[in-house]
Chain A
Amino acid sequence: MRQQIATLIVSLALLVGCGGQGSGNQQQAGNQDAKDESGLTQFEITNGIGPITEAIEIGEIDSAKVEQGAQIFETKCSACHKMNERYVGPALGDILETRTPAYVMNMVLNPAEMVKKHPEAKKMLQEYMTPMPNQNLQQDEARAIVEYLASVENEEVSATQ
């Protein structure tokens, strides 16, 4: 079941990724405003509900941002999240394979609404029982965490190669 959902999310992410480029922007914005049966827009299904309302691109890894993200992660996230094992919350080592950067940021910045309204986040709460706490991060701090998670993912990729 989880795999199916993951596949669905990835394919949705791919769709958005394709549609979000270049001259299709306006057309896509129109589509994204349409709400499905969960009451969420396509954008929200893919990228979560919260202050991040545009897709986030991770370009070349910025090492300063990674360091900032790692520090914040250690203080505010590591009590519940490990990279390679399920802990209080899910393992995050490969999170960006199943979630978009914007989704992760919205989950960090707006967890209460996410676990209430987003079908994926709702399922996670049912599975883990401990609600994701709001650690009151700034947007740039959440962005740095995503950068850090992306760097961890890269490390793993290079380690397996």
Chain B
Amino acid sequence: MRTLKSITSIWVLPVVAALSFSMVGCQSQQQLGSNADAASKVYVAPGEYDEFYGFMSGGYSGQLSIYGIPSGRHIFTIPVFSQAPTNGYGYSEETKAMLETSHGFIPWGDAHHPELSQTDGVPDGRYIFINENNTPRVAKIDLKSFQTTEIIEIPNSAGNHASPFVTQNTEYISAGTRFSVPVDGEGDVAINSYAENFDGTLSFIKMQEDGSMKLDFQILVPGFDYDLSHSGKGPSHGWAFFTSYNSEEAHTLLEINASKNDKDFIAAVNWQKAAEYAAQGEGELVDAEYYRNYVDKNDHIAKSERNSQVRILNPAELEGMIYYLPTPKSPHGVDVSPDGKLIAAGGKLSTVIPVHSFDKMLQAIENEDFEGEIDGIPVLNYDSIIAGEVENPGLGPLHTEFDGNGYAYTTAFISSEIVKWSLETFEVVDRIETYYSPGHLMIPGGDSRKPWGKYLVSLNKITKDRYLPTGPELFHSAQLIDISGDKMQLLLDFPTEGEPHYAQAMPSDIVMKDQVKFYRLEENNNPYAAKSEKAAKVERDGNEVHVYMTSIRSHFTPDNIEGIKVGDKVYFHVTNLEQDWDVPHGFTILGGNTAEILVMPGETRTYVWEPKKAGMFPFYCTDFCSALHQEMQGYVRVSPEGSDVEIAYGTGQ
């Protein structure tokens, strides 16, 4: 965690520590509101629903967690970049391909920023995207099924951090590289040749009409670290903004070496212009291996597509695509106001929050009001584009969200607080302390054109004493804050799994209305499906054995299988014949070297087993499905290699 480290170095400065403590002291008096009042605001009665779906990044769990807001109840976890033993995602034959990359199969990922798809700048509840930081990827999750349905890998990138922020109508999804690296696969160079050989890329993934993702183009940029992004909206629609730090181009001890310049840059990208260049065939198609994995809509089986080229656009050759906005100091978040006119940056080592004006930016571009140029990218004059600087924003400002009522809210990591400031006067009007050290914050729709500005969630990096202690390792701590009044009011603490870097939320009724509750058997096109007990069978093909198995409350067909031999590779293709909501059946077998499969109604999932010794191997349903769930079991007899036991199977015979 670079952010954490660089800030930790400041934390040790006694002056800062003293300052932050004194601030905490002032704040705590304001916290003593009515507990009963707070409790009633977060109470969701049994059987009732939360007002908002909250989508919290699972961070280093690689997954996406779903919470109800305001109750803070953890409702579900969507497996995305990591294998999920709970349901067999990434283990079963039908899902393994989702985790393929140009580096081979990867069982884990570091998820950072969820971002809801938008129409006209407003979350529309169709999809949520999330980035993988370590091996650069972007995932798309379908909110009808809450399933990950596509993952695309990003080449020429490392640490895919400035991602996956959508444009106003989800035309494009951003992916900016945090590490600059040698592009074109020429990575075998001396590290100290950084200045010469290392570049950054800002990638744009296009949402195609059929809903699939395509890496449309990458913009080649100087070898800084690109940190976060957000797209323009309304008047600034057509632009995307990326923060960068390490304009020093350090390759070692960045904590010190990348913190020297007073200003780094926000890269303002005219993506519409860049997309035009790409459509005209400008730039260069370079060799790059990257995967796109997707769930085939026809048979619900994940498939991998290997891509071998990507289009790179070079600003030195193609004008008008990108400009640098000087921004103090090592900026982290970049957030665009709901009206699309202001661009706020969280300069994490800065003493103010700089707020750029989009109009002034356009004016400066038109007037060629440049203070320089870096690798063909014009650098605008800071004084010409700044709309205002928020004074006294707390120490270590990181991220800003908006309430839609003229106010912005910024987290201050070091002083552990959230400050509320006016988009008109740029003055701080309220502040509330958080426990402890917030990174991102989230207001439902808070990075869109129409925030639902009722609650704010502070996504804190440090938990310490907030919950019952659980040894050295703790869940992170989120805090729900009421922002409906003039003063922010702390309502609730709730723990979050992994590290919820960023989060999104939107009204429940929009997401709820088209939920998939089960899959229709008639539409099950898995080639190994057994859609009735009559179709259940066991077939040997050399040393491969395919078991076409059905499950329904409360038996498997077949449930007695003989004729399996050591050295066989047995595929259990389990089809769940149920056609109702919330009746999954699980499957696992003694000694299986994999996770269970949890098969949704109407679906087929495949569990592979290679028995290593002769014997009797019971299997059973892992999900308590009925009063006779304990009876939902069977046996597989395994004979020694070369024995002449014939395949035989059945149920109830």
* Interface set of A (CB-CB < 8 Å, partner B): 74-76, 78-80, 87-88, 129-131, 133-137
Partner pick for B579 among A129, A130, A133, CB 8 A cutoff: A133
- Whether A136 pairs with B553 at a CB distance below 8 angstroms is no
Q: Are B532 and A131 in contact (CB under 8 A)?
A: no
Whether A130 contacts B518 by the Cβ 8 Å rule is: no
Bound together, the chains give a CA A134 to CA B518 distance in angstroms of 12
Do residues A130 and B553 form an inter-chain contact, with CB atoms below 8 A?
yes
A74 touches B628 (CB 8 A): no
Contacts of B533 in A (CB 8 A): 78-79
Let me know if A136 and B579 touch, CB within 8 A.
yes
Q: Which residue of B lies closest to A136 (CB)?
A: B579
* B513 cross-chain contacts in A, Cβ below 8 A: none
For window 570-586 of chain B, which residues contact chain A by CB distance below 8 Å? 577-580, 583
> Is B580 a contact partner of A78 (Cβ separation < 8 A)?
no
Contact residues, B548-591 vs A (CB, 8 A): 550, 552-555, 557, 577-580, 583
Contact, CB under 8 Å: B534 / A78 = yes
Residues of B close to A130: CB separation below 8 A: 553-554, 626-628
Chain A contact residues: helix, strand, loop or mixed: loop
The reply to whether B579 and A78 contact each other, CB–CB distance below 8 Å, is no
**Contact flags B471-511 to A (C-beta < 8 A → 1, else 0):** 00000000000000000000000000000000000000000
Residues in A whose Cβ lies below 8 Å from that of B532 = 74-75, 78-79
Flag if A76 contacts B534 (CB, 8 Å).
Answer: no
B579 contact set on A, CB distance < 8 A: 76, 133-137
Q: Cα distance A22–B627 when bound, in Å?
A: 46
Q: Is the CB of A79 within 8 A of B627?
A: no
- Residues of chain B from 511 to 543 with CB closer than 8 A to chain A in the complex: 518, 521-522, 531-534
Contact of B555 among A74, A75, A88 (CB under 8 A): A88
Contact A75 B577, beta carbon cutoff 8 Å: yes
User: Which residues of chain B are within 8 angstroms of A80 by Cβ–Cβ distance?
Assistant: 552-553
Q: Which residue of A lies closest to B577 (CB)?
A: A79
| Docked pose: A80 CA to B652 CA in angstroms | 11
Please give, as numbers and ranges, the residues of chain A lying within 8 Å of B553 by CB-CB distance: 80, 88, 130-131, 133
Contacts of B628 in A (CB 8 A): 129-130
B626 proximity list for chain A (CB < 8 A): 129-131
Given A75-B532, A76-B579, A79-B577, the answer on whether A133 and B552 have CB atoms closer than 8 Å is yes
* CB of B16 to closest CB in A, whole Å: 62
**Known interface pairs A78-B532, A79-B552; A129-B580 also in contact (CB < 8 Å):** no
Report chain B residues within 8 Å CB of A76: 521, 577, 579
* A136 CB contacts on chain B under 8 angstroms: 518, 579-580
Asked if B550 and A133 make an inter-chain contact with CB atoms under 8 angstroms apart, the answer reads no
Write out the residue numbers on chain A whose beta carbons fall within 8 Å of the beta carbon of B518: 136
Interface of B is mostly: loop
Among A75, A133, A135, point to the contact of B531 (Cβ < 8 A).
A75
Closest to A135 in B: B579
Count how many chain B residues have C-beta atoms less than 8 Å from C-beta atoms of the other chain.
22
List, in ascending order, chain B residues with CB within 8 A of A137's CB: 579
In the A-B complex, the 6 residue pairs with the closest CB atoms: A135-B579, A134-B580, A79-B552, A136-B579, A75-B532, A74-B532
The answer for the CA separation of A131 and B553 in the assembled complex, in Å, is 8
Docked Cα-Cα span, A134 to B578, in Å, equals 8
A-B contact pairs, 26 of them (CB 8 A): A75-B522, A75-B532, A75-B577, A76-B577, A78-B532, A78-B533, A78-B534, A79-B533, A79-B552, A79-B555, A79-B557, A79-B577, A80-B552, A80-B553, A88-B552, A88-B554, A88-B555, A129-B628, A130-B554, A130-B627, A131-B626, A131-B627, A133-B552, A133-B578, A133-B579, A135-B578
The CA of A134 and the CA of B652, in the complex, are separated in Å by 23
Known A134-B580, A136-B579: A75·B627 in contact at CB below 8 Å: no
Chain B 22-58 per-residue mask, 1 if CB under 8 angstroms from chain A, else 0: 0000000000000000000000000000000000000
List the A residue with the shortest CB-CB distance to B651: A79
The answer to whether B580 and A133 have CB atoms under 8 Å apart is: yes
Q: In the complex, which residues of chain B have a beta carbon less than 8 angstroms from the beta carbon of A87? A: 652
**Chain A min CB distance to B45 (Å):** 23
Cα(A80)–Cα(B625), bound, Å? 15
CA distance A152 to B626 in the complex (A): 30
- Chain B residue with the shortest CB-CB distance to A74: B532
Residues of B within 8 A of A74 (CB): 532, 534
**A133 in contact with B583 (CB, 8 Å):** yes
Task: Judge whether A79 and B580 touch: CB under 8 Å.
Answer: no
With both chains docked as a complex, state the minimum distance between the C-beta of B518 and any C-beta of chain A, in angstroms: 7
Query: In the complex, which residue of chain B has the Cβ closest to the Cβ of A79?
Result: B552
Report the minimum CB–CB distance from A26 to chain B (whole Å).
Answer: 37
For the complex formed, measure the closest distance between the CB of A23 and the CB atoms of chain B, giving whole angstroms.
42
Q: How far is the CA of A87 from the CA of B580 in the complex (A)?
A: 21
Return chain B residues, CB-CB under 8 Å to A134.
Answer: 579-580
Q: Are A75 and B552 within 8 A (Cβ)?
A: no
User: Which chain A positions have C-beta within 8 A of B554?
Assistant: 88, 130
Within the complex, what minimum Cβ distance (angstroms) separates A78 from chain B? Answer: 6
Q: Mark B81-97, 1 if CB is under 8 A from A, else 0.
A: 00000000000000000
Q: How far is the CB of B612 from chain A (nearest CB, A)?
A: 32
Q: How far is the CA of A134 from the CA of B602 in the complex (A)?
A: 13
Q: How far is the CB of A128 from chain B (nearest CB, A)?
A: 9
B319 CB to nearest chain A CB (Å): 59
B649 to chain A, nearest CB (A): 16
Q: Which residues of A sit under 8 angstroms from B652, Cβ to Cβ?
A: 87
Query: A130-B553, A136-B518, A136-B579 are known contacts; what are 15 more A-B pairs with Cβ within 8 Å?
Result: A75-B577, A78-B532, A78-B533, A78-B534, A79-B532, A79-B550, A79-B577, A130-B626, A131-B627, A133-B552, A133-B553, A133-B578, A133-B580, A135-B578, A135-B579
Are A75 and B580 also in contact (CB < 8 A) when A80-B552, A129-B627 are?
A: no
Q: How far is the CA of A32 from the CA of B531 in the complex (A)?
A: 41
Determine the distance from Cα of A107 to Cα of B547 in the docked complex, in whole angstroms.
32
Which chain A positions have C-beta within 8 A of B577?
Answer: 75-76, 79
Could you tell me the distance between the alpha carbons of A130 and B557 in the complex, rounded to whole angstroms? 17
Q: How distant is B456 from chain A, measured CB to nearest CB, in Å?
A: 41
A147 to B377, CA, bound (A): 75
